[in-house]
Amino acid sequence: MEKDKFDVKKIYIEQKIFEAGMMMSNFVVELLETFPEMKCAIEVQVSYNDYEKGYVAVDAESVFFNSETELINIALRDIEAPVLWDDLDLSARDIILNEIHHKYKSDLIYKNLTSSAPKEGDWH
């Protein structure tokens, strides 16, 4: 059976999803490099596919890069072992990526505001 136009489009979409996933992973690793011990505390709720319960909403508590396995891990509340980045769906990864980026920018702005001592006559 030949590939029709829908097969070709489906393959194209899957390729772009894979590329987006790789870009997101690389971006998260780069962001984590800016945090101590490549670990970032977060507070977001994401969907997670629990093998026994199906999709459930869980609270993500931290994201860290495991240098031994070279994998991104997510600590989820009420789940003992960290979950691998690749075990989350694209929307959950996007939520976490945005939270890490927000945390990075917030920390950067705070450092910039607190690092410059006010000069005499400056008002805040």
DSSP secondary structure code for residue 72 in this structure: E
As given in the structure block, the two tokens for residue 96 are 């976490």
Domain presence at residue 24: yes
pTM: 0.84
Give the model's pLDDT for residue 121: 56
Buried residues in 56-76 as b, exposed as e (16+ CB within 10 A)? eebebbebbbeeeeeebbbbb
Give the model's pLDDT for residue 118: 59
Domain presence at residue 52: yes
As given in the structure block, the two tokens for residue 72 are 């991104």
| Residues 123, 116: Cα–Cα separation, whole Å | 13
* Domain encompassing residue 12: 5-113
Give the model's pLDDT for residue 123: 52
Give phi and psi for 78, each to the nearest 5: 70, 10
Q: How many helices (H) and strands (E) does the chain have?
A: 2, 4
Number of domains present in the structure of the chain = 1
Domain presence at residue 123: no
As given in the structure block, the two tokens for residue 80 are 């003992």
Domain presence at residue 124: no
From first to last of its 124 residues, the chain has per-residue pLDDT tens of 788 999 999 999 999 999 999 999 999 999 999 999 999 999 999 999 888 888 999 999 999 999 999 999 999 998 889 999 999 999 999 999 999 999 999 999 998 888 865 566 555 5
| Residues 121, 116: Cα–Cα separation, whole Å | 14
Give the model's pLDDT for residue 117: 59
